[in-house]
Amino acid sequence: MIGLGMGWWVIAAVLSLPVVVGRGKYLVHMAQLEGYRPERYLRWMKRMPSALWERWAAAVWVIGLLVGLLVPGDVVGGIVWVAFAVALLALALRGVRLPAKKPLVWTSRAKRLYACFLGLNLVLGLISAMVGPRFGLPVLGFMLWTEPLWMMVATGLMSPVERRINNRFLRAAREKLAQRPDLIIVGITGSYGKTSTKFILGTLLTQKFNVLVTPDSYNTPMGVCRVVNERLKPEHEVFVVEMGARQPGDIRELADLVHPKIGVLTAVGPVHLETFGSVEAVARTKYELIKSLPPDGLAVMNYDNPYCRELAKETRHVQVEGYGLENPGTRLFVSDVHVSEKGTTFVLANRETGESVSCRTDLLGRHQVLNILGAVSVARHLGLSLRQIAAGIGQLQPVPHRLQLIRSGGVYVIDDAFNANPTGTEVALEVLSGFSGRKVVVTPGMVELGGEEERYNREFGQRMAQVCDYVILVGPERTKPIAAGLLDGGLPRDRVSVVTSLEEATAVLQQLLRPGDAVLFENDLPDNYTR
């Protein structure tokens, strides 16, 4: 700030304030989506550098800074100010973003993190004022350009504080559960299928019990803790808990919190490989639920999944109940499965007793029949009859954004936008193939697959080419492997559209679709992968 005086610094500080406030909200949002974990936030910074830095403006700022510092003279000092203004403008423009798909939730934790971040900026601002007119503006510019790093520092500083706060809520939840030895607790985990199985089981068990189910995707310790503290009532007889994991030990932590007596392992597959590293690590983490079960408990495991079958073989400490569509050795089985745009019908039978019952559900796909079988295994163990179970199956409603069928203007919309994994995309395409009209897929592809991500997305494209009449890819860079797979699979290039946003994809669909068509929305990347 050569020759500009303290007055120019004050002007610069005032102009910087909206940038700090707005950019701070964005960075808190990203930290929230990454679970407030510094290591995951750092991975996001590495994954999305274009969301953080305007390289051309950075170059202008650095050149101006060097000229202003190395060349004496009041006039040259103005170059520093111009460079600062350009950089400030770039950051302000970077703050103008598309509406968030999952908006920032101003929880108490988010507010505390934001306050810590602003406090760090205040300290840095005071330092820039104290170093004098020559270096004040460069320090202020450095602060603005390194805001993402200061958010990571704030996240790290708040971690011990949040840990103490969390422990208080965890103790309250443990004490409340300890007062309910009569409560039947069912834990459900898996690489996919766990949320659907959870809601299916909750619906079936209401035929006999008063049931509490963790809502939406409340599958973390603090999410489950909140459900226990705020929603668990004395009249509840069964508590169905979804258990999610992004790294080893996550399931064990949840099991230590709720102590389930029944555990359901829906599947093991290549998900969250970015943090797990291998499918074997995923399997061991999911198995933490089964290892936590007491000797008089029950492990319900999907025998159609090879990883689950192997884990079942090594399970000796607890009774194992297998289920599956393809495995002839299971006690419960289904036959005569028919899937159409009207729903799914099948016959449910008990191999040991010879009982059978016809079932119908609005849920789409053979994979949902598999999820139903997992839930039925628990329901039978808890004493429900096949007729009670069939009545519950008839009441099942699609889980939002998980192969949810929506009829709109004569077009079938299959909403599978919650997430995507290799097995899930196969299932979704199988469901889509059952529709009689033209078939369209809108997708940004799959994420969190580590070093295998490109291969899995290319294979996804190859499979779509065998089913689809048209494909709309969202995101020019991220979807390149899918586009290559589509061409490998023989889909003509003029049947593939590449757009930059879901809004653009919707505009393309409005021109393309006609009554009788079916469009599958497969995955919708969260903001920390797109913004």
Task: Identify whether 123 is part of a domain.
Answer: yes
Place of tokens 């995955």: 523
Q: Are residues 318 and 353 in the same domain?
A: yes
- Sign (positive or negative) of CA dihedral 275, 280, 286, 288: negative
Task: Identify whether 399 is part of a domain.
Answer: no
Q: Tokens for 336? A: 């005569």
Q: Are residues 372 and 424 in the same domain?
A: no
pTM: 0.78
d(C-alpha 292, C-alpha 252), whole Å = 7
Instruction: Transcribe 287-351 into DSSP letters.
Output: HHHHHTS-TT-EEEEETTSHHHHHHHHT--SSEEEEE-SS-TT-SEEEEEEEEETTEEEEEEEET
Task: Identify whether 436 is part of a domain.
Answer: yes
Q: CA distances (Å), 74 to each of 57, 61, 68, 134, 142, in order?
A: 23, 18, 9, 11, 21
Task: Tell me the HSE value of 459 on the side-chain side, using a 13 A CA sphere.
Answer: 12
Q: Are residues 428 and 478 in the same domain?
A: yes
Q: In the listed set 106, 130, 161, which residue is the last one of a domain according to the structure?
A: 161
Task: Identify whether 302 is part of a domain.
Answer: yes
Which residue type is seen at 134? Answer: R
Partnered with residue 265 across adjacent β-strands are 189, 301
Task: Identify whether 420 is part of a domain.
Answer: yes
Q: CA distances (Å), 159 to each of 246, 352, 462, in order?
A: 18, 54, 44
Q: Are residues 350 and 249 in the same domain?
A: yes
Q: In the listed set 375, 394, 413, which residue is the last one of a domain according to the structure?
A: 394
Q: Are residues 107 and 136 in the same domain?
A: yes
149 Cβ contact list (under 8 Å, min separation 6): none
Q: Are residues 112 and 238 in the same domain?
A: no
- Sign (positive or negative) of CA dihedral 17, 20, 24, 26: positive
Q: Are residues 140 and 193 in the same domain?
A: no
Q: How many domains does one find in the chain? A: 3
d(C-alpha 463, C-alpha 490), whole Å = 10
Sheet holding 319-323, edge to edge: 211-213, 238-242, 184-189, 262-265, 298-302, 319-323
Task: Identify whether 169 is part of a domain.
Answer: no
Task: Identify whether 175 is part of a domain.
Answer: no
CATH (domain of 327) = 3.40.1190.10
487 Cβ contact list (under 8 Å, min separation 6): 461, 465, 493, 496
d(C-alpha 300, C-alpha 405), whole Å = 29
pLDDT, tens digit only, all 531 positions of the chain: 444 455 666 766 677 777 788 888 889 998 888 888 888 888 787 776 655 555 545 555 555 555 555 555 554 455 555 555 555 555 555 544 555 556 788 988 999 999 999 999 888 888 877 776 556 666 776 777 778 888 999 999 999 999 999 999 999 999 999 999 999 999 999 998 999 999 999 999 999 999 999 998 789 999 999 999 999 999 999 999 999 988 899 999 999 999 999 999 999 988 877 778 899 999 999 999 999 999 999 999 999 999 999 999 999 999 999 999 987 789 999 999 998 878 899 999 999 899 999 999 999 888 899 999 999 999 999 999 999 999 999 999 988 888 888 888 889 999 988 777 888 899 899 999 988 899 999 999 988 787 888 999 999 999 999 999 999 999 888 899 999 999 999 999 999 999 988 889 989 999 999 999 999 999 875 444 344
Greatest alpha-carbon pair distance for the chain in Å reads 96
Q: Are residues 429 and 525 in the same domain?
A: yes
Q: Are residues 384 and 288 in the same domain?
A: yes
Q: Tokens for 399? A: 């889980």
Phi-psi region of 269 (alpha: psi -120 to 50; beta: other; left: phi over 0): beta
What is the SS3 assignment for 508?
Answer: helix
CATH (domain of 509) = 3.90.190.20
Q: In the listed set 161, 189, 224, which residue is the last one of a domain according to the structure?
A: 161
Task: Identify whether 298 is part of a domain.
Answer: yes
Cα 321 to the center of its chain, rounded Å: 29
Q: Are residues 77 and 24 in the same domain?
A: yes
Q: Which domain holds residue 323?
A: 180-394
Q: What is the pLDDT of residues 18-44, one digit of tens each?
A: 778 888 888 999 888 888 888 888 878
Q: Are residues 457 and 358 in the same domain?
A: no
Q: Are residues 386 and 419 in the same domain?
A: no
Q: What is the pLDDT of residues 367-401, one digit of tens each?
A: 899 999 999 999 999 999 999 999 999 999 988 88
